[in-house]
Amino acid sequence: MKQLGLRASRISQCFLLMGFCVTGLNSLSDNAILNQGPTSTYQLVGQKIDISCSVKGQSMENLEVYWYRKTKKSGDMEFIVGARSSLGKPSYGTNIDENKFALGRKPYDLSFTLSITNLNYSDGGDYYCMAGTSLKYIFGEGTKLTVVDSLPTTVKPATKRPPCKCKKLKFPKTSRPVVNCSAVIWAPLAGLALMLLIGLYFLASHTYRVYKRTYMYFRKYSPK
């Protein structure tokens, strides 16, 4: 009996996926858009997460909603829970814990939710929402769930500055360091030196003239 139930569950899932493959990703109507969020999230072990799914441009009363999961371990799409109408009783996939996964509805924002409680590492994977009517379904773009012990931080670690590779100039003890002066420094000094030389020249010339005049004066009026 258990094997027959397992086969029936797999057959129903196959027919559901065949209906999706036949109709493709065509929207339910010209304005119907399925939004799923969040795109990716990190959650702590033992916590709870709500994944939302909303279809715009379509009445919620006529929608069938199904949730699937794809894990790295199996690589296959695993049916979790779904309902043939938004108010219908949900049905669960094979070996799915009904106490962990719950299908919800939020009329105020026209969305459905998949609630996962008591998270553990095996709950990680890509979750997809599928909604539609009859044989026309559309898939969400998926939510990547990663279950961790601690949430990653966005703060960049402090980096130490690299040590300076500058080399100090070493001068030999027998020679003095050469000082290189730029034109900004030696040009004013040269001009000042030139002015001093010109001033000394005029001072010497004036002193000589005074001395010569004094000498001629005393020579002229001195008693013989």
Residue finishing a domain among 105, 133, 148: 148
Note down the domain range covering 11. Answer: 2-148
Determine, yes or no, domain membership for 153: no
The amino acid that residue 125 corresponds to is G
Determine, yes or no, domain membership for 168: no
Determine, yes or no, domain membership for 64: yes
Dig out the tokens for 157 from the structure: 């670690």
- Kindly give the confidence (pLDDT) of every residue in the chain, 224 residues in length, as a single tens digit, with 9 standing for 90 and above: 434 344 444 444 444 444 433 333 333 565 778 889 899 999 999 999 999 988 887 777 778 889 999 987 777 889 999 987 666 788 999 989 999 999 888 777 678 899 999 999 999 999 999 888 776 788 889 999 999 988 877 656 556 666 666 666 665 666 555 555 566 677 778 888 888 888 888 888 878 887 777 777 776 666 65
Determine, yes or no, domain membership for 174: no
Say yes or no: 138 and 211 in one domain: no
CA distance 23 to 64: 15
Determine, yes or no, domain membership for 158: no
Is-above-0.75 flag for pTM?
A: no
Q: Which residues pair with 66 in a beta bridge?
A: 82, 130
CA distance 174 to 19: 96
What's the number of domains the chain is made of? 2
Contact indicator for 119, 104 with CB cutoff of 8 Å: no
Say yes or no: 142 and 198 in one domain: no
Dig out the tokens for 60 from the structure: 């919620």
Say yes or no: 28 and 82 in one domain: yes
Helix (DSSP H) and strand (DSSP E) numbers for the chain: 2, 11
Say yes or no: 188 and 122 in one domain: no
Say yes or no: 59 and 136 in one domain: yes
